[in-house]
Amino acid sequence: MSSPLEVLFVLTAAGYILGGISVRNVQLGTSGVLLAALYFGHLGYEVPSIVRDLGLALFVGSVGLTAGPRFFRNLRRNALSYGAIALLIVGSGAAATVALARAFEIPRALAVGIYTGALTTTPGLAAALEATGDNAASIGYGIAYPFGVVGVVLFVQVLPYILRKNLKKEVAELSEAPDLAGQPTLLVREFVVESPEADRKTLAELGILSRTGAVLSRVQRGRQVFAALGDTVLMRGDGIRAVGTAEALGRLEEIIGRRAQLSMDEPGVEVRDLAVESRTVAGRTVREMNPHERYGVILTRVRRAGVEFTPGGDTVLEHKDMVRAVGSPAALDRFQAVLGRQRRPLERTGMLALTLVIAAGLLISRFRLQVPGVGAISLGVAGGPLMAGLVVGHFGGVGQWSLRPPGHMLGITRETGLMLFLAGAGVAAGHGFVETVARYGWLLFLSGALVTLIPMALGFAVASWLFRLGLPDSLGSICGGMTSTPALGTLITAAGTDEVAAPYAATYPFALVLVVLATQALAVLL
């Protein structure tokens, strides 16, 4: 393999195969790419550094856009908690580094490098090199970095298993949307009314949603197609279109009749995806909104933080939720006016909006804040696009234009970015890794592992027991406090939602600044 492009895709394919291996329901997932990249780096292969930076920008930009609608509300509610968790993680890691360096007589530059690698922070490494003036800091970083990544990834997966908690259910309880945990995929199917039970009954009388979990969106009678409202009477031979999980649609088939392939895209009934922009609507339940009776529309699904679910009467609509509504054009116009002004996308795919957000974030990353006694601190590639994404995700866009790409597109770019970042970072860390360990001994690797594990354990204890944060928020804040981008990707996959990115994004800025300050302090103390 002479081409870096060949190396990139061979190692990522090998990484995904490795990450798919399950041991007691625990998988490395995308982080398997890191282990494959370390091996390829050890063999001497190269991947351009631009691959790592591109992946990092795509990942954090997508995360910021997804977490933005909930980030500032979460931050206002728990700002003190997240700042304290970041301080504890960074401070305890620094204290452990001092203790281990003195106990094992580890050289100063090497110890400071281990500290930055254990917390997987590249800005910290830059500060370490500047403060110590010794390239040994890079060696320490390379020793501690692999476990710093893999350790946090395993922590967020293994801890729920040890605590015997279902992470997806915990997310659903915190989100006040029980369907989030149980309905990862929604299907659309058509049926023909054949059951005597359904013949000449209104949808309200049948109680379809409560009995099956599916939502009926349209009814076809002859050549006429109309919205399925609560007072709609079903008749034998009618065609219906329903939305729900496979299980919900299976139960519906038992009540209604057989599945069929029907064409219901007739004039008179439209489908619109609308954003909840009005502050007066946010916080109200679907039952309070009563879209059937008041506006003549039916809500078939809600998309929140990258997860779709069928709404029930008790579902609370939140600001920036995307709802799919079915009805006549006039009815949808009335309902759209209630939800608030709808912005128009810059273009269909969402790529233009994403690239503009990342470009703005990279400009932000170039600004440097002068801290007395420390020097200049910048957000870097990891922080700039994240902050830009959070702001744009919160406000939604500029004027009549939406800068929020579609949720499925953000999911793809997030995964692609994480893959590229791990491949580039792993290959770079793999160069000389084995030789360095052989030269300085496995004692350094053990030290790096301890500097990773001790702050995580203390941080989780304080987050869950002192500040009473839920499991998803606690783990998200741990990822942010450890400045671990790969662990966030793993946590999002394990939780089944991007909502866990909000505590990560709230803790990350505190940790980023604190770890640079701590690195400067360690260079003086050791």
CATH code at position 278: 3.30.70.1450
The label of the residue with tokens 């997508």 reads 62
Range of the domain at 270: 179-345
Collect all residues with Cβ–Cβ distance below 8 Å to 166 and sequence separation of at least 6.
Answer: 160, 181
Last residue of one domain, picked from the residues 281, 310, 345: 345
- pTM, full prediction: 0.63
Q: How far from chain centre, in Å, is Cα 13?
A: 22
- Does residue 214 lie within any of the structural domains? yes
If asked whether residues 79 and 183 sit together in one domain, one would say no
Q: What is the pLDDT, as a whole number, of residue 93? A: 93
Dihedral pair phi/psi, residue 493, rounded to 5°? -65, -45
- Rg of the Cα atoms in the chain: 26
Residue 221 is given by DSSP the state E
Residue 278 neighbours by CB distance under 10 Å = 15
Last residue of one domain, picked from the residues 276, 310, 345: 345
In 131-232, beta strands by DSSP E: 187-192, 201-202, 215-221, 224-227
Residue 68 is given by DSSP the state H
Collect all residues with Cβ–Cβ distance below 8 Å to 138 and sequence separation of at least 6.
Answer: 113, 125, 129
AA letter at 2: S
- Does residue 452 lie within any of the structural domains? yes
Q: Are strands 397-398 and 375-377 parallel, antiparallel or unpaired?
A: unpaired
Q: Which tokens belong to 189?
A: 């199917």
Residues in the chain: 526
- Does residue 4 lie within any of the structural domains? no
- Does residue 433 lie within any of the structural domains? no
If asked whether residues 355 and 328 sit together in one domain, one would say no
Residue 163 neighbours by CB distance under 10 Å = 12
Q: Are 225 and 264 within 8 A, CB to CB?
A: yes
In three-state secondary structure terms, 440 is helix
If asked whether residues 318 and 354 sit together in one domain, one would say no
How far apart CA 30 and CA 11 sit, in angstroms, is 12
How far apart CA 295 and CA 362 sit, in angstroms, is 44
If asked whether residues 335 and 376 sit together in one domain, one would say no
- Name the helix (H) or strand (E) containing 396: none
Q: Which tokens belong to 25?
A: 């329901």
AA letter at 61: G
If asked whether residues 307 and 205 sit together in one domain, one would say yes
- Does residue 20 lie within any of the structural domains? no
If asked whether residues 411 and 333 sit together in one domain, one would say no
Last residue of one domain, picked from the residues 316, 345, 374: 345
How far apart CA 227 and CA 151 sit, in angstroms, is 52
How far apart CA 266 and CA 18 sit, in angstroms, is 48
- Does residue 431 lie within any of the structural domains? no
Q: Which tokens belong to 274?
A: 């609308």
In Å, how far are 253, 270, 283, 290, 314 from 294, measured between CA atoms? Answer: 29, 17, 18, 6, 17
Low-confidence ranges of the chain (pLDDT < 70): 1, 23-28, 31, 70-71, 73-75, 77-78, 122-127, 129-130, 135, 138, 172-186, 264-269, 293, 305-308, 370-379, 382, 429, 432-433, 436-437, 439-441, 497-499, 513
DSSP letters spanning 231-274: TPEE-TT-EEEEEE-HHHHHHHHHHH--EE------TT-EEEEE
In 290-362, beta strands by DSSP E: 298-304, 307-309, 322-327, 344-345
How many CA atoms lie within 13 Å of 517's alpha carbon, on the beta-carbon side?
Answer: 15
Counting the structural domains of the chain, the total is: 2
The label of the residue with tokens 């502050």 reads 279
Collect all residues with Cβ–Cβ distance below 8 Å to 55 and sequence separation of at least 6.
Answer: 416, 417, 418, 419, 420, 421, 422, 423, 424
If asked whether residues 391 and 405 sit together in one domain, one would say yes
Collect all residues with Cβ–Cβ distance below 8 Å to 253 and sequence separation of at least 6.
Answer: 191, 259
If asked whether residues 483 and 505 sit together in one domain, one would say yes
- Does residue 189 lie within any of the structural domains? yes
In three-state secondary structure terms, 218 is strand
Q: What is the pLDDT, as a whole number, of residue 387? A: 82
AA letter at 135: N
Q: Which tokens belong to 273?
A: 């995806």
Q: How far from chain centre, in Å, is Cα 135?
A: 35
AA letter at 163: L
Name residue 344's beta-bridge partners: 401
Q: Are 337 and 278 within 8 A, CB to CB?
A: no
Q: Which tokens belong to 63?
A: 């995360």
Q: Are 194 and 257 within 8 A, CB to CB?
A: yes
If asked whether residues 80 and 191 sit together in one domain, one would say no
If asked whether residues 315 and 189 sit together in one domain, one would say yes
Residue 463 is given by DSSP the state I
Name residue 323's beta-bridge partners: 274, 302
How far apart CA 98 and CA 107 sit, in angstroms, is 11
Collect all residues with Cβ–Cβ distance below 8 Å to 433 and sequence separation of at least 6.
Answer: 38, 41, 42, 142, 143, 146
Q: Are 453 and 130 within 8 A, CB to CB?
A: no
If asked whether residues 315 and 222 sit together in one domain, one would say yes
If asked whether residues 329 and 248 sit together in one domain, one would say yes
- Does residue 7 lie within any of the structural domains? no
